[in-house]
Amino acid sequence: MQCPGHATRRWALAKDSAGYRVADLRRNPLRSRACDRVLALPLALLALLSFLAGCGGTDGGGAPDSTDDSTATSSAPDPTAGCAFLALDDVSAATGEEMTEGAFGPGGCTFGAADPASELNVTLTFTPIAIDAETYAQEGRDLCEDTPIEVDAGDIAFACMTYVPLGFVFIGANSILVQVDGAPDDSTGVAFAAALLPSISL
């Protein structure tokens, strides 16, 4: 399923109990529920705004000083320790290129090619979900232009071509979306996304 007219629509970023979604200001919401929930996730620059404030820096800005809450926050990704979901070496191995880590934080990570001549970029977006993972995954599959590649990772995982190559992995009540930009072609981008999914962890 493709979201009709996505290239010419106006979008607004909103957040609900299921995570980030994109609301089309001019479309019928009853016809675009699946697109709102899933198509929003790959919009990396918008979604990353949710965690860039907590990205690593020289002052360690997002980490609490008190040790009283250490138990409550122990499962949260350390904003100074790099990407909490995927190791840099795994990204380089899956893509066959030397990659570097860009922005990272509790909401996701970005990776870019070390070679300035390469346009390859990988973006992970982490979203806790409030609906059944099978339902959420099916809405992702509905966006695929072709039959998705099923991957042995997490509870549910697959990769496919939507308007960009995407990989989806569901672990418990959490979704991690992998977007690949700048691959040599679409099929290669989907293959990269599929290869990355087994290395993702929470």
> Domain map of the chain by residue range?
11-41, 48-54+80-199
Q: What is the chain's mean pLDDT, rounded? A: 74
Which residue has tokens 């106006």? 10
DSSP state of 199: G
Give the pLDDT of residue 77: 47
CA distance 87 to 170: 18
Give the pLDDT of residue 81: 62
CA distance 41 to 162: 12
% residues pLDDT > 90 (the chain): 54
- Residue type, position 187, single letter: S
What pLDDT, in 10s, does the model give residues 3-61? 444 433 333 333 444 444 433 333 433 334 444 444 444 444 344 444 444 444 434 44
Global pTM reads: 0.63
Structure token pair of residue 16: 């609900």
What pLDDT, in 10s, does the model give residues 84-125? 999 999 999 999 999 999 988 889 999 999 999 999 999 999
Phi and psi of 191, rounded to 5°? Answer: -65, -40
> Do the bridges between strand 121-128 and strand 108-113 make them parallel or antiparallel, or are there none, so unpaired?
antiparallel
Q: Please give the residue that has the higher pLDDT: either 168 or 40.
A: 168
CATH architecture of 48-54+80-199: 3-Layer(aba) Sandwich (3.40)
